[in-house]
Structure 1
Amino acid sequence: MKRSYIPDLDSVRAAQQRLQSAVSATPLEQNLAYSELYQADVLLKREDLHQVRSYKIRGSYNKICRLLQSNDKTEHVVCASAGNHAQGVAFTCSQLGIKATVFMPVTTPRQKVEQVRMFGGDYVQTILTGDTFDEANLQAQAFCQKNHYAFVHPFDDPDIIEGQATIGLELLQQSSKTFDYVFVPVGGGGLASGVAAIVKQLSPDTRIIGVEPKGAASMSVALKQGHPVKLDRIDRFVDGAAVQQVGKHTLAICQKYLHDVITVDEGHICQTLLNLYTKDAIVVEPAGALSIAGLAHYQHEIRGKRVVCIVSGSNNDITRIEDIREKALLYSGLKHYFIVQFPQRSGALREFVGNILGPMDDITYFQYQKKNNREHGPAVIGIEIKRKKDFDPLLSKMKSHSFNYQYLNDKPELFSMML
């Protein structure tokens, strides 16, 4: 029976040596807000502060250096990526002077596409194809085989895993005290498997918690089934962790070393992202907020403990902020959508605004469903409240004033169709 691959300390230390010319150690810093919130010593490993603004540079640089060491004829590499891995490959290729073709989903945020082109310059060609990473990956693999180029996998490759594992080595080198918990984001599993393997080998009592988005929980499913499972559908919002199927190598390592894998709602991720920005002036992408969002699931266990959250990246597109804020408000119970049937009486709309809304409530969306007879037709209305406790009085006043309504927040299919 073939033995599963496990990163060993010598290989990861060699990777760390390789990275010295391109990658600086990222800060490990205490976060006062989350330390106070959870009554724990919460530290952030700031992988968002790399030049390419994510940890992906570690794996891609290590992999391409290894290719060059083993094959002097490596002149062109290929990769598929949701954006951050592509930036790592682009930066590496421009530094080492080799060509790359990078495949990304058409849904990749524009900011990430532009960063890839900026880092790669004349060395990198970008191809946007497919709606998901997995679809772009299939095209990249076919292109690679046709042209006999080397493929740089974003997560399921020993050299990639060992590059990401240098974060775990670096963590332990940066602190004389042990960690009780390390929370790590999970997409395809390259980061989680690398960090978990090294930290557990050097600090066996540390618990490693993987955190993945609820809408793309491919690792959770794989762990339950005992093998990689391709999900039929995923939510692409947390694009840095939206992977339909984890790798064979990464799953085997996570099975051995992860204490737990939890999922968090996309709205909770958005709220965490906004909190980091407003309270700490830390700008992250949705995947970068994953590990911190996971703390809420362990709030009782981590009390009084020493906890590390790996902040994986900050490649966020400013045009997504309104969508992020909307998801955060919905998750927090502060934004509510209704289809309201106005009573057959004059001035019903004026009555709704004057008598139904509370003093701090605000209409943020209003759309009639009929072009004629507007005053007496149904309308889709979005209402933002300041406090969760104001929701029940809002419903009571609509009922007492004979405004019939359908609540849309708990009807996802109707919600998506109407909005």
Structure 2
Amino acid sequence: MKYLRPQIKVIGVEPDDSNCLQAAMAAGERVVLPTVGIFADGVAVAQIGQHTFDICKDYVDEVITVSTDEICAAIKDIYDDTRSITEPAGALGVAGIKKYVEQRGISGQTLVAIDSGANVNFDRLRHVAERAELGEGREAIIAVTIPEKPGSFKAFCEAVGKRQITEFNYRYNTGSEAHIFVGVQTHPENDPRSALIASLTEQGFPVIDLTDNELAKLHIRYMVGGHAEKVSDEVVLRFEFPERPGALFNFLNKLGGRWNISMFHYRNHGAADGRVVAGLQVPADERHLVPAALEQIGYPYWDESDNPAYQLFLG
């Protein structure tokens, strides 16, 4: 290709945690990476081969790197366009084009991505689905501080506005403030993450952006909770409600502010029904009012207060 059309640029794309070609070209010789990420296992190489490097150093014009989230977003793009699923290494070209165009703001050029593999491991799809929206800039992960008092959840949802809440994790804190782990739907152009954070901050909700925080995305989101020793009279309920825009706010609105919410967990998985686990602090002399209040909400529910999983890890 370079022989026939030397003006064509050849741009290499590598994962940012296994960039052996980029490191070799920067050093002018082959180098050995101290660690290699294996998400894109088809290109998980610590040292580029001698023959490959001899060719690339003369004919590759540039090398760019992409993150795991950007690779996941590219896999989703390819699926949306062709209904084909590539392996992470196979989607590198598309991820690279997206990043190249975004960084340089180019238009009117012909760009070609080479899909170099489709042998995806089925269990890898779970991670791809979880991270694709983040890689596209269509979801933000944030930590928000709200007052530890009844009605705060509802006030926060009102502050979010028409944006869809994709994740909500909270456990009662004995202090005056509560910290919630929240996912919110965004749009890279029309409603970016920065606009969401600015809006919440202006409305009095301190925000920490966790969208690029690997610890938060890989672990903390699953660990929010634990025993709340000073929570008394807790009733634990599991709900299902129709999954549509505004459904979570509607659920909280129907739940009302009569009883304090001591635990809340929700994650949008793309299913027809949204699933919530909620803890309510209900005094013993008001327990008889709970069934009637739940019937007014109108959503299917299950009382999990005696569930051993709750008692062992959360009660």
In the superposition, the TM-score normalised over structure 1's length comes to 0.45
Displacement, 1:210? 1.9
Confirm or deny: 8 A CA contact 2:143 2:181 kept in the other structure.
Answer: yes
Letter in 2 for 1:360: R
Q: 1:202 to 1:385 in 2, by over 3 A?
A: closer
After superposition, the Cα gap between the structure-2 partners of 1:415 and 1:288, relative to the gap in structure 1 and judged at 3 Å, is: closer
Q: What does residue range 5-404 of structure 1 map to in structure 2 within 5 Å?
A: 199-200=1-2, 204=6, 206-296=8-98, 297=100, 303-305=108-110, 308-353=112-157, 355-368=158-171, 373=174, 376-385=177-186, 388-389=190-191, 391-392=193-194, 394-404=196-206
**1:390 deviation in Å?**
5.8
Structure 1 residue identity aligned to 2:37: D
Q: Distance in 1 between matches of 2:164 and 2:4?
A: 53
Q: Is contact 2:167-2:181 (8 Å) kept?
A: no
Please, what is the CA RMSD of the aligned residues? Answer: 3.1
Q: In structure 2, what is the Cα distance between the partners aligned to 1:204 and 1:310?
A: 18
Three-state SS of the structure 2 residue aligned to 1:309 is: coil
Matched positions, count: 217
CA–CA distance in 1 between the matches of 2:55 and 2:109?
A: 29
Q: Do the aligned residues in 2 keep the contact of 1:330 with 1:336 (CA within 8 Å)?
A: yes
Is contact 1:334-1:386 (8 Å) kept? yes
The separation in 2 between residues aligned to 1:343 and 1:217, in whole angstroms, is 45
Q: Distance in 2 between matches of 1:300 and 1:335?
A: 22
Stretch deviating more after TM superposition (220-229 or 261-270): 261-270
- What do residues 6-55 of structure 1 show as CA deviations (whole Å, max 9, x unaligned)? xxxxxxxxxxxxxxxxxxxxxxxxxxxxxxxxxxxxxxxxxxxxxxxxxx
User: How much has 1:204 moved relative to structure 2?
Assistant: 5.0
Residues 416 and 273 of structure 1: is their aligned pair in 2 closer, same or farther, counting only changes over 3 Å?
closer
Secondary structure at the counterpart of residue 147 of structure 2: coil
CA contact (8 A) 1:360 1:386 kept: no
Is the Cα–Cα contact under 8 Å of residues 139 and 185 in structure 2 kept in the other structure?
yes
CA distance in 2, matches of 1:396, 1:238: 35
User: What does the per-residue CA deviation read over 1:230-250, in whole Å, with 9 as the maximum and x for residues that have no partner?
Assistant: 222333222211222212222
Report if aligned partners of 1:267, 1:331 keep a CA contact under 8 Å in 2: yes
Deviation of 1:396 after TM superposition, in Å, equals 4.4
How far apart are residue 255 of structure 1 and its match?
A: 1.3
Query: Would you say the 8 A contact 1:213–1:266 is kept in 2?
Result: yes
Deviates more, 1:372-381 or 1:232-241: 372-381
Query: Secondary structure of 1:261's match?
Result: strand
Residue deviations 1:367-403 (CA, integer Å, cap 9, x gap): 43x5x64995322222223565164553345335433
Higher helix share: 1
Please tell me whether the aligned partners of residues 291 and 311 of structure 1 are also in contact (alpha carbons under 8 angstroms). Answer: yes
CA contact (8 A) 2:74 2:91 kept: yes
| Superposition TM-score, scaled by structure 2 size | 0.58
Whether contact under 8 Å (1:336, 1:409) holds in the other structure is yes
How far off its partner does 1:343 sit?
0.8
For residues 270-302 of structure 1, what are the alpha-carbon distances to aligned partners after superposition, in whole Å with 9 as ceiling and x for unaligned?
A: 222211111222321111111233334267778
Runs of 5+ in structure 1 lacking a partner?
1-198
Q: Secondary structure at the match of 2:10?
A: strand
Percentage of identical aligned residues: 28
Q: Tell which has more relative contact order, 1 or 2 (C-alpha 8 A, sep 6+).
A: 1
* 1:215 aligned counterpart, secondary structure: coil
